[in-house]
Amino acid sequence: MFPYVCAAMIPVFCEPATMSKILRAAVKCIWNDKSESKPVDYKPPSRTKQNAIVAGVCVYTALQLCLPYSHILTQGYNGWRNGLYGYSWDMMVHNIDVAKIEVKVLDHVRREQFFLDPHSWTNNNKWMLHGDMLKQFAKCVAANMPDRHNISVQMDIWGSLNGRFHQRLVDPNVDLLHAPWSPWLPVPWLFPLIRHLDWWRPLIVDAKRNTDDDLLFFADFPGMTVTNDEDDQETTTTTLAVLEGAVAVRESRIGGGDNDRTVRLVSGEAMDVTGRHVVTTVSPTPSCYVLASTVDSGGGSEGGIGGGGGCGGSGGVSTPSAVVGNHRPSGCSEACHAFALHAIKDAFSALFFRTAV
């Protein structure tokens, strides 16, 4: 309908005198008495004019048929959405929710690194979804720092396509300032969409609809690491539950050293996280997990997943299910771990069991 509306609005841009002439001719043609009309000799257009009209119609039709599929040739502009800046035939059926944007600049001469606020440079998120715009942003950063030489620009962008897991769009280890890009070749430093996890999407939507907790669903590639910061509040319990794959969670506590611990979680296991924690995918396939933040109503042992009978005295799943090296932490029995896992499955029943979609 959109192109027809545009075609109907074309007369708005014509001169008023021209439109008046056309309207008078149309009214005269409609209301003219045909009984008094005189026969008019019809003179067909010349052969050259006919060929030009047919050629113009054919070219216009070919453009309308081929342009929506131009992304087959211009692969450098493709990302999660095909086509130049997403204006393909399916442009209205894709929606990307950007959850995290991190722009890091490395100065190799001064041996320092710092982060930029991307929203102070642009007022929209469209550039984050296309390889050519990411290159332009990196070059713009370098151009606005003439006093710095030999710098690298790295970005870590997380997005969700149409309600899927939040995942990385860009390889955070690639220097976008010097990364290769061609309009005719696929962009090698853009991460593909994790398609084999699509069956989780209706379950994610259902889980968010049926709970008051703050749920964030993430998926990551093997060997990749992400750092999350959680508000260390006594009234809020944040639980990390692994849905598929395996992850290693390292909590960074104040003082570091022996206070830091690394926990390995596989599918169906969970743990409470506080403050800053680093999540690394250690499985050979992409992992996916959920961060559930629950506000404790009564404090103490009533908050979190698992209630007051969980591991430890603070409630929830305060003791991890497994530690790196396959050694269970001391102070928690087999029955305790079984109870914690059962509580997690009850709380995330819509997530841990596949249902017909």
Q: Which amino acid is at 266?
A: V
pLDDT, position 38:
62
pLDDT, position 157:
95
Q: What distance in Å separates the CA atoms of residue 121 and residue 105, rounded to the nearest whole number?
A: 14
Q: Taking the domains of the chain in order of start, what are their residue ranges?
A: 93-193, 195-296
Pick the more confident residue, 310 or 212: 212
Confidence label for 4 from pLDDT (cuts 50, 70 and 90): low
Confidence label for 40 from pLDDT (cuts 50, 70 and 90): low
Single pTM value for the model:
0.68
pLDDT, position 331:
35
Tell me: pLDDT of 338 over 60: no
pLDDT, position 7:
76
Confidence label for 290 from pLDDT (cuts 50, 70 and 90): very high
Q: For the chain, give the mean pLDDT.
A: 77
pLDDT, position 26:
81
CATH of 195-296, one of 3.30.470.20, 3.40.50.720, 2.60.120.10, 1.10.645.10: 2.60.120.10
Tell me: pLDDT of 355 over 50: no
pLDDT, position 301:
34
Cβ atoms of 183 and 74 closer than 8 Å: yes
pLDDT, position 330:
36
Q: What is the mean pLDDT of residues 89-112?
A: 85
Q: What is the mean pLDDT of residues 174-180?
A: 95
Pick the more confident residue, 332 or 347: 347
Pick the more confident residue, 85 or 41: 41
Pick the more confident residue, 34 or 182: 182
Tell me: pLDDT of 318 over 50: no
Express each pLDDT in 241-276 by its tens digit. 999 999 999 987 655 555 568 899 999 999 988 878
Q: What is the mean pLDDT of residues 35-49?
A: 74
Query: Looking at the DSSP assignment, which residues form a beta bridge with residue 170?
Result: 190
Tell me: pLDDT of 315 over 60: no
